[in-house]
Amino acid sequence: MKAQGTVFKYGDNVDTDVIIPARYLNTSDPAELARHCMEDIDKTFIQKVRPGDIIVAARNFGCGSSREHAPIAIKEAGVSCVIAATFARIFYRNSINIGLPILECPEAAAEISAGDTVAVDFATGKITNVTTGRSFQAEPFPPFMQKLIAAGGLPQYMSAQD
Partner 1 sequence: MVSLMSMTQTQKILARHAHLETVRAGQLIMADLDLVLGNDITAPVAIREFAKFGKPRVFDRDKVALVPDHFTPNKDIKAAEQCACMRAFAADQQITNYFEVGRVGIEHALIPEKGLVTAGDCVIGADSHTCTYGALGAFSTGVGSTDMACGMATGQAWFKVPSAIRFVLEGQFGPHVSGKDLILHIIGLIGVDGALYQSMEFTGPGVAALTIDDRFTVANMAIEAGAKNGIFPVDETTLAYLREVGAREPVIAAADGDAAYEATYTINLGKLRPTVAFPHLPSNTRTIDEAGDVRIDQVVIGSCTNGRLSDLRAAAAILKGRSVAPHVRAIILPATQKIWLEAMEEGLFRIFVDAGCAVSTPTCGPCLGGHMGILAAGERAVATTNRNFVGRMGHVESEVYLASPVVAAASAVAGRLAGPAELDTL
Catalog residues that contact partner 1 under the rule CB under 8 A. 13, 15, 17-18, 21-23, 25-28, 40-41, 59-60, 63-69, 71-72, 86, 88-90, 93-94, 97-98, 142, 144, 153-156, 158-159
Closest approach, Cβ 4 to partner 1, in A, equals 27
Residue 136: C-alpha distances to residues 111, 125, 126, 139, 161 (Å): 10, 8, 6, 10, 35
Nearest approach, Cβ of residue 109 and partner 1 (Å): 13
Q: DSSP readout, 37-66?
A: TTTTT-TTHHHH--TT-EEEE-SSBTBS--
Whole-Å CA distances, 71 to 20, 33, 136: 9, 10, 24
Provide φ and ψ at 46, rounded to 5°: -70, -25
Of the two residues 63 and 81, which places its CB atom closer to partner 1 in the complex?
Answer: 63
Q: How far is the CB of 61 from partner 1 (least distance, A)?
A: 10
Rounded to the nearest whole angstrom, what is the least distance from the CB of residue 114 to partner 1 in the complex? 19
Q: How far, in Å, are 12, 126, 155 from residue 122 at the CA level?
A: 24, 7, 21
**CB closer to partner 1 out of 27 and 132:** 27
